[in-house]
């Protein structure tokens, strides 16, 4: 069966998507896509020098999100993150980065040969997820390294954790440098007050939204917003024209345009509908015995500023079942396809395109499984704990160094030559240039024993690792 046939067949089945894209394969309409698929012909503007119809779409986005300038991205948030960082930090310069950022941030650091300084978010052990980044931790690193040229954080995270973006922006602006917020998972935050406030509204300078993740738009489509006096608009735009394809898809851009139109007319009501359905769903916590769902109560943790309830994080810590196992059962038994799983939790992503029936299907399935599975009397231990490694070389220096491949078990004290991350979420456990310590070794070994495969590293089992030649 070819790819097209496989997709067609899948679309005819009753699998319910608790994953991206945000349109959930039900919202949005277009005629035969081949009839719309043009390139930059006369009267259709040029994404890299937008003056006409594409400019109008970008202006509409800026107005809706409250930015000074918005740019369409058709290579995902990835292209926006690469451009925002390259446009804000000179080659070889210093950057402060939340350590739970997506791999695209680390790739920008690699390409710009930047020196990275990490801000470690608090770790919420109860659920085994990263908490938020605080203004205090950002201020501390800016005091220690006054030559830092930009700060990057992720908010909301994959799991819906929102940082105090306004507080962080205030600290960053004291240094007259930009705050870049990877808000890939938060494009919906601008359209209904039941959800946390968006980073543009909180004063961040560059904000990147994957509209494809949480709004009804095609995969790969995203937006980059800019505002204020700390952004070098010209440089960011220059890098956008480098990192974005020279043949931007008019289908994807028309999808963004349709999405903006939809959000401006029906966004508030559609999110109201989602909110009501979620309110009902979250009552499940009162009935669950072994599983638990992360809720707004998590904001009682010191650093967690706010929580995006559209991310349903199902903790399996009280059950004799891993996140992967639960995700598998939900898929095979109930035809509910979740976004991701980790060892101790799994994640169902909801958007304004979700139906009440879909969310109720998840509710019923979880209750049934909660009844059937065994309780874990001693809560299962996190594999992941907050890990810090000493940066010996920059990511670029390490990747350009002569390397040798050794057994992971013999790598203690060596300098990593490769990234190691799980995907999703794509947050590096280890970066090139970091010294491998005992905590990292133990974590990787535990993941190996759980049968988890890694990405970013040549040997996906991580039995072997490339280290910098010493
Ligand atoms: C936090 C975060 N940032 C950025 C990205 C990259 O977004 P895109 O897939 O739109 O390039 C992702 C992708 O999952 C992500 O999770």
What tens digit of pLDDT does each residue of 286-301 get? 999 999 999 999 998 7
d(CA 86, CA 89): 6
Q: Which of ligand 1's atoms lies nearest the C-alpha of 79?
A: 11
- In degrees, rounded to 5, the angle at the alpha carbon of residue 317 between the alpha carbons of residues 313 and 323 is 55
Q: Is 155 in the pocket of ligand 1 (CB under 6 A)?
A: no
Pair type for strands 464-468 and 403-407: antiparallel
Dump pLDDT digits (tens) for 348-358.
999 999 999 99
Q: Does ligand 1 have an atom closer than 6 angstroms to the CB of 222?
A: yes
Listed by start position, the domains of the chain span 33-259, 395-468
Beta-carbon neighbour count of residue 144 at 10 Å?
10
Give the atom of ligand 1 at the shortest distance from the alpha carbon of 222. Answer: 10
3-state helix, strand and coil shares in percent for the chain, rounded to the nearest 5: 40, 20, 45
Domain 33-259: which CATH class?
A: alpha beta
| Residue 102 CB less than 6 A away from ligand 1 | yes
In our burial notation (b when 16+ CB lie closer than 10 A, e otherwise), range 401-423 reads: bebeeeebeebeebbbbbbbbbe
Q: Does domain 395-468 have CATH number 3.40.50.460?
A: no
Q: Could you report the average pLDDT of every consecutive run of 10 residues in the chain (470 residues)?
A: 96 96 92 92 94 97 98 98 98 97 97 97 89 97 98 97 98 98 98 98 98 98 98 98 97 97 97 98 97 95 91 95 95 98 93 98 98 80 73 97 97 97 90 95 88 92 94
Return d(Cα 51, Cα 3) in angstroms, integer: 37
Q: Ligand 1 pocket test: which of 130, 155, 184, 424 has the largest number of ligand atoms within 8 Å of its C-beta?
A: 184
Task: Transcribe 364-402 into DSSP letters.
Answer: HHHHHHHHHSPB-SSPPPPS-------B-S-HHHHHHS-
Which of 80, 104, 159, 221 has most ligand 1 atoms within 8 Å of its beta carbon, as the pocket-test mutant?
A: 104
Q: Which of these, 288, 351, 335, lies nearest to 314 by C-alpha position?
A: 288
Pocket lining: 210 vs ligand 1, CB cutoff 6 Å? yes
Task: Report the 10 Å Cβ neighbour count for 362.
Answer: 22
Choose which residue among 129, 133, 162, 213 to substitute to test ligand 1 binding: the one with the highest number of ligand atoms within 8 A of its C-beta: 213
- Read off the tokens for 346: 């799994």
Give the Cα separation of 224 and 303 in Å (integer). 26
Give pLDDT, residue 28.
Answer: 87
Residue 384: what pLDDT? Answer: 61
Question: What pLDDT sits at residue 392?
Answer: 96
Q: What is the pTM of this model?
A: 0.97
Is the C-beta atom of 100 inside 6 A of ligand 1? no
> What pLDDT is recorded for position 376?
86
Q: What is the pLDDT of residue 303?
A: 83
Rounded CA-CA distance 236/40 in Å is 22
Q: Which residue has the tokens 């231990």?
A: 381
Beta-carbon contacts of 199 under 8 Å, excluding residues fewer than 6 positions away, are 155, 165, 181, 183, 186, 189, 207
Indicate which residue's Cα is closest to atom 7 of ligand 1.
77
Q: Going by CA atoms, what residue is nearest to atom 9 of ligand 1? A: 76
| Interatomic CA distance for residues 198 and 439, integer angstroms | 35
In a mutational test of the pocket of ligand 1, which residue from 19, 22, 72, 77 has the highest number of ligand atoms less than 8 Å from its CB? 77
Q: Is the CB of 158 under 6 A from ligand 1?
A: yes
pLDDT at 256: 98
């Amino acid at each position: 069966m070819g790819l097209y046939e496989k997709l067609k067949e899948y679309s005819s089945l009753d699998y319910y998507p608790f994953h991206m894209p945000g349109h959930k394969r039900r919202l949005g309409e277009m005629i035969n896509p081949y009839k719309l698929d043009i390139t930059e012909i006369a009267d259709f503007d040029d994404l890299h020098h937008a003056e006409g119809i594409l400019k109008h779409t970008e202006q509409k986005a800026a107005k809706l999100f409250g930015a000074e300038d918005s740019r369409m991205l058709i290579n995902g948030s990835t292209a926006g993150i690469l451009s925002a960082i390259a446009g804000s930090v000179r080659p070889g310069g210093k950057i402060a980065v939340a350590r739970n950022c997506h791999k695209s941030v680390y790739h920008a650091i690699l390409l710009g040969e930047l020196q990275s300084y990490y801000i470690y978010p608090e770790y919420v052990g109860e659920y085994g997820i990263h908490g938020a980044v605080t203004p205090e931790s950002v201020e501390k690193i800016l005091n220690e390294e006054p030559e830092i040229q930009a700060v990057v954080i992720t908010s909301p995270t994959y799991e819906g954790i929102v940082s105090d973006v306004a507080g962080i922006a205030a600290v960053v602006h004291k240094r007259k440098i930009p705050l870049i917020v990877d808000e890939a998972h938060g494009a919906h935050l601008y359209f209904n007050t039941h959800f946390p406030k968006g980073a543009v509204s909180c004063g961040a300078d560059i904000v990147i939204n994957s509209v494809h993740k949480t709004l009804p738009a095609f995969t790969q489509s995203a937006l980059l917003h800019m505002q204020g006096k700390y952004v070098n608009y010209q440089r960011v735009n220059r890098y956008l024209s480098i990192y974005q394809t020279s043949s931007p898809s008019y289908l994807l851009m028309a999808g963004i345009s349709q999405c903006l139109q939809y959000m401006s007319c029906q966004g508030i009501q559609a999110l109201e509908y989602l909110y009501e359905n979620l309110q009902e769903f979250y009552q499940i916590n009162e009935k669950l015995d072994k599983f638990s769902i992360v809720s707004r109560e998590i904001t009682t943790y010191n650093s967690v500023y706010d929580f995006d309830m559209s991310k349903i994080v199902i903790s399996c810590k009280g059950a004799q079942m891993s996140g992967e196992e639960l995700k598998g059962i939900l898929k095979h038994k109930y035809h509910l396809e979740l976004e991701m799983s980790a060892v101790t939790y799994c994640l169902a992503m909801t958007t304004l395109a979700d139906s009440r029936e879909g969310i109720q299907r998840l509710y019923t399935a979880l209750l049934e499984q909660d009844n059937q599975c065994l309780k874990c009397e001693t809560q299962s231990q996190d594999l992941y704990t907050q890990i810090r490694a000493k940066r010996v070389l920059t990511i670029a220096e390490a990747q350009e160094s002569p390397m040798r491949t050794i057994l992971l078990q013999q790598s203690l004290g060596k300098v990593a030559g490769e990234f190691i991350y799980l995907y999703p979420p794509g947050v590096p456990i280890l970066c090139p240039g970091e010294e491998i310590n005992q905590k990292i070794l133990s974590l990787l070994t535990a993941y190996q024993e759980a049968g988890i495969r890694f990405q970013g590293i040549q040997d996906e089992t991580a039995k072997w690792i490339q280290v910098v030649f010493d």
